[in-house]
Amino acid sequence: MTEVSAASNNVFSDYAIKKNDEKAGSDELGQKAFLQLMITQLENQDPLSPQDNTEFISQLAQFSSVESLDSLNNSFDQFANSFVANQALQASTLVGRSVSVPSEQTMLVSGGLISASVDIPASTGEVRVNIYTDSGELVDQISLGEQPAGELVMRWDGLNAEVNGDLLDWTSSHENGVGPGIYKFEITASIDSKPKQLQTALSANVNSVTVGADGQLTLNLAGVGPVSLSDVKQFNE
């Protein structure tokens, strides 16, 4: 009769350890191999000294626990894959849309406009907008005068500008406006008689979306670059 060592009598424990050891690699037992070992163990045990029932049940419980963890891990993997796929599907609907993100520059496309929004603090004096090319050349200066506290939204198409939906009585220094390109915005407000630059959110078109391995979405914006979806302040129409 073939002897089965004490080590092989505890294949359940060995299996559990191997299933949880990331370094087990190719040494890890599969279900089929494990069950075959279990059958061999039962067939070759010493009838005069059979395996203790308590130990056997304990080993079965370990195996069941390991298999339950495997099932849970598989379910989680399926959920994670489904989540990433769903994120990618949602991301595809963003391509071609306009979003507003914190930025100092963005792209003016032909026939389009740029939306710039800031939060005006209380007790603010004159609000001024300076627009530059990406090389730093001043394009236009727009004085908005005193503005009430709250959100201010200015739209500029390279020639005309409006604030909170009202067209400004303002003439661009460029008779025919400026063409498409990357432009930088600097919006300042007079606070305590000193100009203070305000954080600006600019509109930008979504060129593409990158889905990371962790499911995080990165928007690749025209004139801005990569921006995390969580940094988007507004989805524009």
Domains and CATH numbers, the chain: 8-92 (no CATH), 98-203 (2.60.40.4070)
User: Can you tell me the distance from the alpha carbon of 167 to that of 159, in angstroms, rounded to the nearest whole number?
Assistant: 12
**pLDDT value, residue 5:** 37
Select from 129, 233, 121 the least CA-distant residue to 185.
129
Mean pLDDT of 33-42: 67
10 Å CB burial of residue 223 (0-12, 13-18, 19+) is: buried
Assigned token pair, 100: 């507003």
User: Can you tell me the distance from the alpha carbon of 21 to that of 15, in angstroms, rounded to the nearest whole number?
Assistant: 10
* Tens of pLDDT, residues 12-31: 445 444 555 544 444 455 56
* Tens of pLDDT, residues 106-121: 999 999 999 999 999 9
C-alpha gyration radius of the chain: 33
User: Can you tell me the distance from the alpha carbon of 55 to that of 48, in angstroms, rounded to the nearest whole number?
Assistant: 17
CA 100 to chain centre: 16
**pLDDT value, residue 92:** 78
Residue 8 pLDDT level (bands cut at 50, 70, 90): very low
Which amino acid is it at 191?
A: I
The residue whose two tokens read 């306009």 is 98
Sign of CA dihedral 131, 133, 134, 135: negative
